[in-house]
Structure 1
Amino acid sequence: MDSIDLEVLKTASAWIAEGHRAELVTVVKTWGSSPRPIGATLAICDDGRVVGSVSGGCIEDDLIERVRAHGITRTVPELVKYGITADEAHRFGLPCGGTIELAIEPIGRDSGIDQLLERLEQHQLVARHVNLQTGAAALDTAAPGMQLEVRDGVLTTIHGPRWRLLIIGAGQLSRILAQMASAMDYHVTVCDPREEYRATWNLPGIEPVHAMPDDLVIDMRLDHRSAVVALTHDPKLDDLALMEALKSPAFYIGAIGSRANNAKRRERLKEFDLTDEQIARLHGPIGLYIGSKTPAEIAVSIMAEMTAVKNGVPQELQVQHADALARQQAESNAGCTI
């Protein structure tokens, strides 16, 4: 499963290869409330086909209507604002006071899209620089933490996996979680020294690594854009990964298991000379409470908690929402009859 960014680029590349003209549209600035974040993209083909999103629908409809009526006429990029007035905000479905600035760039074989895709296939983090006067594009390696910007007439966009996720275990839950994380711009690594699990792994683009978890954690040099999730249910493997990960700056570290098993795990981790503060960073039981039962539901809960932590949602707010969900489920179950 590709991220939205990658899907847009791949589709645009295919249109160009078929001989179509296309435009790449990027959200470069927002004021007030906006339905899509800075960096969101869409591509539009000269026949009106579109992939991606910059507003959730209404601005896309306007862009498609203009292309169908006039074709793709731009020869150089253009910055366009939507939602400047209250009437326009209402017309384009923007929240009250919302304004979006878009970069609309005509792209072709010389726009470097294929070269960008080649580098993304190698899991590189890439900066793409577009001269807004001429349309000339250039690529280079992006530094961690770089953001989209428009400076001195050049639009710089960042592409590739901005985050890393190490999954310990190559079971069914790991496969589903890896798919979800890949779609959310994570570079996913799956580690499992057990041959029987690696032999049945089937997820194109992600091959499980045969290594001991603690060794791989050290070799990856985890940083503040990294997460580690231990999913084997085998303390010999999960604890090895956790004892090293909890010493790292990784923003999220979680382990599957019940409250009782995680309490025992925390006691075991004390034997590895970890401090109470380091052990307190462990998310276990893993995931936000959503009543998960199936592997897919558990994967959703894990990604939800990872996203909340990544976005700085306070722990107490996460707990409040979890408690509210639990109460709603209990009330719903109490009202059910069979």
Structure 2
Amino acid sequence: MLRLGVDAGFQAVLVEPDESRLQGTPRAHGDRVVHDLAAAELDESTDVVLSDHHRAEIGTVLKETLAARTRWIGTLGKPAIEGPHVAMLRELGVPDEQIARVHRPIGLNIGARTPAEIAIATLAGLIADRNGRPGGFAF
């Protein structure tokens, strides 16, 4: 998604709090790799995509992202199952109207299965949303 995001005109920033997850892997194809949200410089024009919805720190990351007043927030996941982020955010005291700002599932409903297809569907949905078009986020 990072490489395609750059090609599509997004400034792609990978936020990876656990530096050990980056060791031994090729450098991500985004514009930058940072280790905390402060370094990502989130603002009202930022779109945030969480690609690993099972990590323990997702609740904290989403709470910080919501507080940063980002434009759009989404996390991967199956539409028929409530995401683990909901319970995490409730435990952290985040109000339901803020939790509702987190889109899940994300991307256009094209039946994406592979990581590349999911990246394409996600980026296409973000482009449609930014351009005020009905990109097909409904599942």
User: What's the TM-score once normalised by structure 1's chain length?
Assistant: 0.37
1:52-131 equivalence runs, <5 A: none
Unaligned runs of 5+ in 2: none
3-state SS of paired residue (2:22): helix
Identical-pair percentage: 30
Equivalent-residue separation in structure 1 for 2:29 and 2:3 (angstroms): 10
Residue 5 (structure 2) pairs with residue 181 (structure 1): yes
Match of 2:72 in 1: 252
Residue 120 (structure 2) pairs with residue 296 (structure 1): no
Residue 86 (structure 2) pairs with residue 279 (structure 1): no
Unaligned runs of 5+ in 1: 1-176, 324-338
Equivalent-residue separation in structure 1 for 2:129 and 2:110 (angstroms): 16
Instruction: Determine which of 133, 136, 139 is the counterpart of 1:318.
Output: 136
Residue 13 (structure 2) pairs with residue 227 (structure 1): no
Go from structure 1 to structure 2 and tell me whether the alpha carbon gap of 1:204 and 1:293 turns closer, same or farther (over 3 Å shift): closer
Equivalent-residue separation in structure 1 for 2:31 and 2:100 (angstroms): 31
RMSD value, Cα: 2.4
Go from structure 1 to structure 2 and tell me whether the alpha carbon gap of 1:199 and 1:246 turns closer, same or farther (over 3 Å shift): same
**Conserved? CA contact 2:59–2:92, under 8 Å:** no
Report deviation, 1:289. Answer: 1.1
Residue 86 (structure 2) pairs with residue 266 (structure 1): yes
Q: Which has the larger radius of gyration?
A: 1
1:142-161 equivalence runs, <5 A: none
C-alpha distance after superposition, 1:23-49 (max 9, x if no partner): xxxxxxxxxxxxxxxxxxxxxxxxxxx
Match of 1:199 in 2: 24
Go from structure 1 to structure 2 and tell me whether the alpha carbon gap of 1:255 and 1:200 turns closer, same or farther (over 3 Å shift): same
User: What's the TM-score once normalised by structure 2's chain length?
Assistant: 0.82
Match of 1:333 in 2: none
State how many pairs are aligned. Answer: 137
